[in-house]
Amino acid sequence: MPNRREVIAGAAALPVLGLGSHAAAAASTVLRAAPARVQLAPDGYPETEVWAYNGRLPGQTLRHVQGQGLEVRLENALVEQESTIHWHGVRLPNEMDGVPGLTQAPVRPGEAFEYRFALRDAGTFWYHPHAHSVEQISRGLAGVLVVEEPEGARPDVDADEVLVLDDWRMASDAVIRDDFGAWHDMSHAGRLGNYVTVNAQPEYRRKAAKGARLRLRLVNTATARIFTLRFRGMRVWLAALDGMPLEVPGEIEEVVIAPAQRADLLVDLLAEPGEEALIASVERDGTYALAGFDVTGPGGAARAAPAALPPNDMPVLDLEGARAVPLVMDGGAMRGLPEGAVWRGNKMEMRALAEAGQFWAFNGMAGMGEAPLVDAFLGETIRIPMTNRTAFSHAMHLHGMHFREVSGDGTLGPWRDTILMAPNEAREIAFVAEAPGDWMFHCHMPSHQMSGMMNWIRVV
């Protein structure tokens, strides 16, 4: 993280307590980040050493109701590394955002930190470290936060399931490879794994009746893999993206979910009893089943198309009065940084940047600088036209706030917190600076983030 923040991090952060301290009341949930052994690979392989919250992969799904308060105590038992928890997609106070050196001091081994904030939005969110992110997420530290609509406002479904999509870079003996700082990953597509799981299983399976309506909350916790999903034996409506309900659920045959993105699906099972309904991942060498539903009978009658989920209270964008702050992405393999970039206050040539592990730049700057990308007033609408001049895709994530894409004719896309930028693509987003504080804006492929693709936004 940026050196300039380290000096003030200790003074600005809330207290970090030792694990044995009784200075504060215990939070309602404890998440203990620690090494563990789990059966991650299929039967017949040995258990895998992972890092996990409370020994579980993925971490336990935290379920709350909109309007409730969340109280979680992070206990860091990793021994070797500092950690934090970032509550991805949640609108919360800046000091609870979990970015070491920017919003809080890192939680050292043997210490703890308590996160407390109100859950203002219903939706599907997730939590993960924002310290040593490539390694800690790749070793297993991630979980889902489900904020349910109030009683009476929830959709009429027969089941509400969380499906965590992930991949792992594993050796033949089921050991997670420890090449977390590989330059090839940083300068190319990121840390892609060779073993894909759903809820830490090689294939998710369950029984369900023909005609059942399911709410499936899909969460991509992989550090680089972009999932393209297709469906068989089911009728599927896309109901929410990144936790935010769509105005009208749209019937789909395919959905693309980039790292950190979420998609809430409302699904009617159409397969006949004795058959299976499938969610499959489209890969370069074929299409593979990820989730299977063994359909039982006789099943109920067909249902009408689902209604929209109740909307969250979102700000109103003022596009006409908005200030535009362009963002240009450069670097990486095939394109490089032929004009160099500024890193830690110094203009450096491409070779020197590569030797320092910096391969990407935003507006000619690698990593976070002294000045923010955007310095916004509270309530101001900001437009960010983004141009990806690299040869790779990037999942751009804004902390603390949601944005909408602005199309060429001025129409607005759905609310999101992460947007996928394809190579050579230009897209524009707009957001209301509704939350005071310093907020990160970065590529959510952590290998890209650590090697240059991160900046920050200040709201005052």
Range of the domain at 190: 159-296
* Per-residue pLDDT, 301: 80
Q: Is the pLDDT of residue 21 over 70?
A: no
CA distance 234 to 281: 15
For residues 357-384, average pLDDT: 97
* Per-residue pLDDT, 239: 98
Q: Who contacts 217 (Cβ-Cβ below 8 Å, separation ≥6)?
A: 124, 144, 146, 160, 161, 162, 163, 262, 264
Within-domain flag for 220: yes
Residues 142, 215: one domain? no
Task: Give pLDDT tens digits for 75-114.
Answer: 999 988 999 999 999 999 999 999 999 999 999 999 999 9
CA distance 262 to 240: 8
Residues 102, 16: one domain? yes
* Number of residues that this document lists for the chain: 460
Residues 355, 410: one domain? yes
Residues 14, 117: one domain? yes
- Alpha-carbon distances of 433 from 12, 243, 370, 430, 436, rounded to whole Å: 21, 19, 20, 10, 8
Q: What is the largest CA-CA distance in the chain?
A: 69
Within-domain flag for 304: no
Domain boundary among 148, 174, 190: 148
Q: Which tokens sit at 448?
A: 């890209």
Mean pLDDT for the chain?
A: 93
| Bridge partners (DSSP) listed for residue 342 | 347, 365
Residues 216, 343: one domain? no
Within-domain flag for 380: yes
For residues 2-29, average pLDDT: 38
* Per-residue pLDDT, 27: 57
Residues 379, 411: one domain? yes
Within-domain flag for 412: yes
Q: Is the pLDDT of residue 214 over 70?
A: yes
| Bridge partners (DSSP) listed for residue 289 | 280
Q: Who contacts 430 (Cβ-Cβ below 8 Å, separation ≥6)?
A: 317, 319, 322, 381, 382, 383, 384, 403, 404, 406, 412
* Per-residue pLDDT, 157: 96
446 phi/psi in degrees, rounded to 5: -55, -30
Question: Could you tell me if 297 and 210 are in contact, meaning their C-beta atoms sit under 8 angstroms apart?
Answer: yes
Q: Which tokens sit at 100?
A: 């070491």
Residues 337, 424: one domain? yes
* Per-residue pLDDT, 264: 98
Task: Give pLDDT tens digits for 290-330.
Answer: 999 999 998 778 899 999 999 999 999 999 999 999 999 99
Within-domain flag for 45: yes
Write the CATH number for 176: 2.60.40.420
Q: Tokens 């009893």 map to which residue?
A: 273
Within-domain flag for 164: yes
Task: Give pLDDT tens digits for 24-79.
Answer: 344 589 999 999 999 999 999 999 999 999 999 999 999 999 999 999 999 999 98
* Per-residue pLDDT, 23: 32
Domain boundary among 127, 148, 169: 148
For residues 253-280, average pLDDT: 97
Q: Which tokens sit at 230?
A: 């297709």
Neighbours of 40 (CB within 10 A): 23
Residues 76, 182: one domain? no
* Among the listed residues 142, 190, 197, 151, the one whose alpha carbon sits nearest the alpha carbon of residue 174: 197
Residues 138, 177: one domain? no
Residues 167, 61: one domain? no
CA distance 244 to 405: 14
The percent of residues above 90 in pLDDT, for the chain, comes to 91
Within-domain flag for 314: no
Query: E strand or H helix at 245, and its extent?
Result: strand 244-252
Q: Who contacts 181 (Cβ-Cβ below 8 Å, separation ≥6)?
A: 134, 357, 450
Residues 337, 403: one domain? yes
Query: E strand or H helix at 35, and its extent?
Result: strand 29-38
DSSP, collapsed to helix, strand or coil, labels residue 292 as strand
* Per-residue pLDDT, 9: 28
Within-domain flag for 128: yes
Residues 139, 63: one domain? yes
| Bridge partners (DSSP) listed for residue 197 | 166
Q: Is the pLDDT of residue 7 over 60?
A: no
CA distance 184 to 274: 46
Number of domains in the chain: 3
* Among the listed residues 53, 26, 55, the one whose alpha carbon sits nearest the alpha carbon of residue 126: 53
Question: Could you tell me if 118 and 67 are in contact, meaning their C-beta atoms sit under 8 angstroms apart?
Answer: yes
Q: pLDDT band for position 203 (50/70/90)? A: confident
